[in-house]
Structure 1
Amino acid sequence: MRLTNSAVPVYTVSGSSTSRSLPDWLSQSQKRKKDPEYANRVELLQDFEFEEASQCVRISEDGEWAMSTGTYKPQIHTHYLPNLSLSFTRHTNTLNKTFLFLSSDYSKSVHLQEDRSIEFHTPGGCHASLRIPRYGRDLAYDRSSTELLVPAVGTNGNGMGEAFRINLELGRFMNAFEVDVGGDDTGGALQGGIGAGSVNVAAVAEASHNLIAFGTSQGTVEYWDTRSRARVATLATPADLEGRSEVTALTFHRSGISTAVGTSSGLIYLYDLRSPVPVLKKDQGYGYPIIYLEYLTPSSATRASVSEPKIASADRRILKLWDERDGTPWTSVEPAVDINCVAWCKDSGMFLTANEGRQQHSFFIPQLGPAPKWCSFLDNVVEEMADDPNDPQAFSRTKVGEIYDNYKFLTTSQLRMLNLDHLVGKTNLLRPYMHGFFVAQGLYEEARLIANPSSWEEERAKRVQEKIEKERESRIRGKKKITAKVNRKMVERILDREEKNEQRRAQRVLAQGGDEKPAPEVAETEEKGLLADSRFAKLFQDEDFAVDETSREFQQLNPSTKVAPASNLDREKGLTAVEEEAIDEVPRSEEDTSEEENAGRYRTTDRISTADYRRKPNKKQKKGDQMRMQVSSSGKSSTVRAPVDRSFGTRAENMHPVQRTKRSHGFGGTAGDKVITFEPGSKKSRASGKAAASSKGAPRQDRRSASGNTFRRM
């Protein structure tokens, strides 16, 4: 953000001049690597810009929507402020001159176009459109009668200027207000020729008496009563040597008594309705027409707002804020491009502008008010950017200036105070610029600490305090030794959890500013812990309570626990109950039964181990299993077996019962039936079978699909 040079600091949050100023020699070298404007930008609102320029900007009554119009091409941008994002963009057929919100949010708006058309927009788009007889200059909305007022240029048949009335409830034109604009008798200015009179601006006193005021090209202000639809009074601005200037801006105070009038010559008059003489005259200074006037009255009256009421006025060159009582300048904002429209976020110090540049501007004045709710983070950013009171060269509220990126501008006297004057002309650490030198920010900070010992002592005291608090926190936590003989991993997890709890407790004690004694029940709970409880002593001392994390039961109960590999993988363990039941249910042959009777039922040394269950068979074992031939007969059974393998997978495969099928026409008779089965395991045959299957069901390889859907590839 950029800080303008004024008695009251103004931060340019977004716009064409948001990056801090840099010398030419520095900006050119940095732009070769990275654009500094892009690196230092603060994008307050997403896409808060137009291709060429912006024409008008408004903020809704609820403060959550910002709508702006611009070119090229004619567009409408609507931003949702709580999300700091662009909600939608809409294009129009012609340029937009001005618009108004008809509702508290963005849902209903009316737009005055350059081609004498008026468009009514809703969230769905352009709801309706109509044409007015002559070109419009401004829009005003009377909520009490739901009438839209359109001041226009030119005169009617009676030689009077008109402000068209459109009743939105009835949906038709009403009799227009006839305003005296000094029309000629010839009728040559009927449709608005050169020198034709016009009604330039309109204002409605909604919060008070509901009078309507029209500013004309004659330099007069006419007040109309909506109840009688008649002219109440006419106010003429003071004339100068060139005559009366046109009235280009008009607004009412919330009380309805005071009126601010801006003219085309850059003069502002404050009137009390009880007197035709202006109470105050203010010169904007540049001679351009006034395009914006507003009383900066907050919604809730405070002592500051009552004692120092302020008014904001703007022409195409500058935005000024000044005192309502005596016209004393308070602060000003002068962007690099011309201003077309200004919108103030109520009860805050934020201003949004529509201007001739590509980017729309956002200005924040902290002394005027806090940041809006939708960008409350600006308050913290401004506090961080506040000047250091210990820095003798820092800019205070009475002297606000600019600080260059990563560099500090110092004069010769300031260099002498920092004992850096001996570097002038001897090194490139000091780069001459105008009446001073640029010094790297890091070098400036070090020199300032050396030249100002008090700042170094404060920094040292701060670091010592941080170190003391860190040691104090570690002392409160303490360290505990692990004395358990078994289940050490469980003890480590318990100690880790207790250490985290003590760390949080220590942080709470430090945050309260002292060592507070815990409650009696809390202290008793801390003294007794799970490890110090005598009831659970055997859990960490007796080997009978040791938890074997490599057992199958532990892995089934804790599937997500990662177990370290066992040191002895060849250690054999017995079968589980489920495995033993599965083996008992499988019928065995006579030879297997006789062998088991001779050798005994599954000795402990012959049981299947967990390591064997996990070990995968090698290629030779797979080949032997695939080429195995079994011959069984009713008379005598003989089995050609593969080499003995104690793995559970191999035993379970061999123990499946043989499915005997009765054949009416088979090999042999009832006494000599033989069944021969082969399991071919040739790689070529399997590869050919897979190729045949893929050629039938798989999609064509020459067709590539970008879809990520798995079912589209099946």
Structure 2
Amino acid sequence: MCSSMTLEVKPSRRRSGEKRSMQVSSLNEVKIYSLSAGRSLPEWLSDRKKRALQKKDVGISRRIELIQDFDMPAVSSKIKVSRDGQYVMAAGTYKPRIRCYDTYELSMKFERCIDADVITFDILSDDYSKIVFLLCDRYVEFHSQHGRYYRTRIPKFGRDFSYHYPSCDLYFVGASSEIYRLNLEQGRYLNSLQTDASENHVCDINPAHGLFATGTVEGKVECWDPRTRNRVGVLDCALSSVTADKEIDGLPSISALKFDGTLNMAVGTSTGQVLFYDLRSNSPLIVKDHQYGLPIKSIQFHNSLDLIISADSRIIKLWNKDTGKVFTSLEPEHDINDVCIYPNSGMLFTANEAPKMSIYYIPVLGPAPKWCSFLDNLTEELEENPETTVYDDYKFVTRKDLDNLGLAHLIGSPLLRAYMHGFFMDIRLYHKVKMMVNPFAYEEYRREKIRQKIEETRAQRVQLKKLPKVNKELALKLIEEGEEPQNARKKKQKKMPSILNDDRFKVMFENPDFQVDEKSEEFRLLNPLVSKISEKRKQKLKILEHQETLGEEEEEEPEGKPSDAESSETSDDEKGWVEEVRKQRRLLRQEEKLKHQKWFKEDQQTVLEPKFFEIKAGEEFRSFKDTAKRQKLMKKTLGDRLQLEERVGALSVHDTTVGSKQVTFKLKKSEQQKKQQEAEKHHHQERRKLRRSAGHLKSKRGRGRPFH
């Protein structure tokens, strides 16, 4: 289940007393903290106006700005971290530029504008002193600390490059079948490597043994040995990524490539699959589909947890490389261009199709970097104090809530954002509509809060035998049993804990739905002496309530033997047990009789209404009866059939050649039979006047035939 919220926290000691906001999402119980949540200020504003706006706008003043000015004017395309971890380099537009951020100072170190957009770049040194940029106009630029050092041009448009440290060679791949080699030690181009592909998209070099691999547009990976400059293997990834249940137009091309250790390699395709290979096998160990059909743009490895971090333009997925099970996932608001992991930590940087570059912190992946170690303290405080979570700008509402507010017509409009089984709407709009629908809601809320505060202050007073609001008699009974055992047998037993102090039974004394119904039949039969005992407890309850109102303490009876009055009362209760049971049974019988009499009167007053949808059984439906019985009847003689049809007075003759015929006849009746029929008819008329309805019995049980 995935959820998102905004948290207000105190980020560090140097910023103590100042609340900050942080957006948190959770999937598979893995929390992801977005450190770049919140609105960014326009860069054309002066410092004075920015400070004034921060004072006025609470959303801007509460945001966590981990690195100052960590954004681009329009879009960021690539982002990388130097080997020493001190510098973060990012490329973006518009205008095309690169920015370097110093993590120790938490601010931007320098910014350089260039002539064309950056396709990709790489940091060759431990710091920012040696950087290589591949531009979209076929130029390759080399930068040092002071700025651009040298630029050269490659024959075809480039798409990716890799640096081979042992030989100081740069391998460029692009819109050509050749792989261009530029030696930085000699300062000249070397012989190119000829591939079988028409174009090459990505490339990578294994840092362990120096194997060079390139991904082609035909969906193949070609591996080359830089020492001999010969191809050592070809891997067909397109056929492994195509499945029977997924229709793909053409073969997928290779869009991402990354080595892991000496023998493992991950390949991303343009159709959204990630294939994990062992170099000793030509079939993938596991194939992971992003299910979006978008090209894979970045693949990273997290070796401590055996995870692969793959990203397309819409989602970042973290999954196990052995089982393929999703560890967690992240869906930013804007499209993703690149993903970078800060070394040995749980921090992620993303370059987006938006001015602001995103920073995410996942504590499960690792600790926070040294330059922002206060993030660990923040997350610990948030886990210890979950009540500090507040929803910031949006309110989650269901379809039923929209119907109650009269906003169902807004479904599909920009004012409602669909999410899971409901919608997100602006909290200001929600409060306005809520006030219009129920203008007295705030007053009721205020009264309830005041009542709760008064109850809390009352609970802090010193009171004797504070009884709950629900099931007071049961609570009083439990208190009496806990204080004073009824017989010596209970004294010998171990003292059991009272359910009044047990949190599992807390709701029984707070929720009115759990109130014991003393008028129910079960309660009266199971508690034959409830009348006498309840009277005693009610008297005691009145005394306790009177003491609570006056704030007086109850005088306790000295310990020792029970008084004579109590002993006499217990003896009377034991003697009158049988009488009380008989009395309760007698009362129950009388109540049952009264109920039956009431039901009988209601039945007498009811008037039968004709049910036109019911089909009455009559002689006209005799031909629709069982066909087997009718066939047997046809085999009999005319005399036998006349005897069977004597009561009906009708005879049906069926002939397959001519058709069906019906012969109607009347038997001559004697005077005695006529008198008997008239008497029966008169008797039935009297019964119809006196009878009561039995239609409900027929509809429920389905027995007997209805009266006519």
1:121-157 deviation line (CA, Å, top 9, x unaligned): 0011100000000000002111111111111113xxx
| 8 A Cα contact 1:15 1:359, kept in partner | no
TM-score, reference length from structure 2: 0.50
One-letter code aligned to 2:199? S
1:410-456 deviation line (CA, Å, top 9, x unaligned): 9999xxxxxxxxxxxxxx8995899xx9999x9899799879989x9
1:49-76 deviation line (CA, Å, top 9, x unaligned): 1111111111001111001011111111
Displacement after TM superposition at 1:179 (Å): 1.5
Task: Please state whether the residue corresponding to 1:386 is helix, strand or coil.
Answer: helix
Q: Where does residue 513 of structure 1 map in the other structure?
A: none
One-letter code aligned to 1:229? R
Q: Where does residue 107 of structure 1 map in the other structure?
A: 129
| 8 A Cα contact 2:38 2:63, kept in partner | no
- Identical pairs, percent: 40
Displacement after TM superposition at 1:384 (Å): 2.3
244, 248, 269: which is aligned to 2:255? Answer: 248
What is the CA–CA distance in structure 1 between the aligned matches of 2:455 and 2:84, rounded to whole Å? 51
| 8 A Cα contact 1:224 1:230, kept in partner | yes
One-letter code aligned to 2:347? M
What is the CA–CA distance in structure 1 between the aligned matches of 2:286 and 2:87, rounded to whole Å? 35
What is the CA–CA distance in structure 2 between the aligned matches of 1:444 and 1:104, rounded to whole Å? 64
Q: Where does residue 278 of structure 1 map in the other structure?
A: 284
What is the CA–CA distance in structure 2 between the aligned matches of 1:211 and 1:74, rounded to whole Å? 33
Matched, 1:263 2:285: no
316, 319, 330: which is aligned to 1:319? Answer: 316
Task: Please state whether the residue corresponding to 2:319 is helix, strand or coil.
Answer: strand
Q: Where does residue 236 of structure 1 map in the other structure?
A: 236
Change (3 A) 1:223 1:407: closer
What is the CA–CA distance in structure 2 between the aligned matches of 1:350 and 1:103, rounded to whole Å? 22
TM-score, reference length from structure 1: 0.50
Q: Where does residue 531 of structure 2 map in the other structure?
A: none
Task: Please state whether the residue corresponding to 1:286 is helix, strand or coil.
Answer: coil
What is the CA–CA distance in structure 2 between the aligned matches of 1:236 and 1:452, rounded to whole Å? 73
Matched, 1:151 2:138: no
Q: Where does residue 198 of structure 1 map in the other structure?
A: 199
25, 28, 32: which is aligned to 1:4? Answer: 25
Task: Please state whether the residue corresponding to 1:58 is helix, strand or coil.
Answer: strand
| 8 A Cα contact 2:38 2:59, kept in partner | no
Q: Where does residue 404 of structure 1 map in the other structure?
A: 391
| 8 A Cα contact 1:2 1:17, kept in partner | no
Return 5+ residue gaps in structure 1 as ranges: 20-30, 155-160, 182-196, 298-304, 395-401, 414-427, 458-714
Matched, 1:134 2:156: yes
What is the CA–CA distance in structure 2 between the aligned matches of 1:39 and 1:371, rounded to whole Å? 23
| 8 A Cα contact 2:221 2:235, kept in partner | yes
What is the CA–CA distance in structure 1 between the aligned matches of 2:230 and 2:441, rounded to whole Å? 67
Q: Where does residue 177 of structure 1 map in the other structure?
A: 193
Displacement after TM superposition at 1:33 (Å): 9.9
What is the CA–CA distance in structure 2 between the aligned matches of 1:377 and 1:445, rounded to whole Å? 39
Displacement after TM superposition at 1:403 (Å): 3.0
One-letter code aligned to 1:3? V
Q: Where does residue 656 of structure 2 map in the other structure?
A: none
Displacement after TM superposition at 1:409 (Å): 8.0
Change (3 A) 1:444 1:214: farther
| 8 A Cα contact 2:361 2:368, kept in partner | yes
Q: Where does residue 167 of structure 1 map in the other structure?
A: 183
Q: Where does residue 506 of structure 1 map in the other structure?
A: none
What is the CA–CA distance in structure 2 between the aligned matches of 1:170 and 1:146, rounded to whole Å? 9
Q: Where does residue 301 of structure 2 map in the other structure?
A: 295
Task: Please state whether the residue corresponding to 1:374 is helix, strand or coil.
Answer: helix
Q: Where does residue 211 of structure 1 map in the other structure?
A: 211
| 8 A Cα contact 1:61 1:104, kept in partner | yes
Q: Where does residue 118 of structure 2 map in the other structure?
A: 96
| 8 A Cα contact 2:38 2:60, kept in partner | no
Displacement after TM superposition at 1:198 (Å): 1.2
Name the count of aligned residue pairs: 387
| 8 A Cα contact 2:220 2:238, kept in partner | no
Change (3 A) 1:409 1:314: closer
| 8 A Cα contact 2:348 2:359, kept in partner | yes
Task: Please state whether the residue corresponding to 1:313 is helix, strand or coil.
Answer: strand
One-letter code aligned to 1:174? L
Displacement after TM superposition at 1:386 (Å): 2.3
Displacement after TM superposition at 1:405 (Å): 3.6
Displacement after TM superposition at 1:80 (Å): 0.7
One-letter code aligned to 1:269? L
Displacement after TM superposition at 1:101 (Å): 0.4
One-letter code aligned to 1:175? N
What is the CA–CA distance in structure 2 between the aligned matches of 1:247 and 1:348, rounded to whole Å? 29
Matched, 1:73 2:89: no
What is the CA–CA distance in structure 1 between the aligned matches of 2:229 and 2:60, rounded to whole Å? 55
Task: Please state whether the residue corresponding to 1:88 is helix, strand or coil.
Answer: strand
| 8 A Cα contact 2:238 2:253, kept in partner | no
Change (3 A) 1:451 1:83: farther
One-letter code aligned to 1:169? E
| 8 A Cα contact 1:18 1:41, kept in partner | no
Task: Please state whether the residue corresponding to 1:379 is helix, strand or coil.
Answer: helix
What is the CA–CA distance in structure 2 between the aligned matches of 1:438 and 1:125, rounded to whole Å? 64
1:413-562 equivalences under 5 Å are: none
RMSD: 3.7
Matched, 1:372 2:366: no
| 8 A Cα contact 2:54 2:61, kept in partner | no
Task: Please state whether the residue corresponding to 1:245 is helix, strand or coil.
Answer: coil
1:326-380 deviation line (CA, Å, top 9, x unaligned): 1111111211111111110011110111111011110111111111111111111
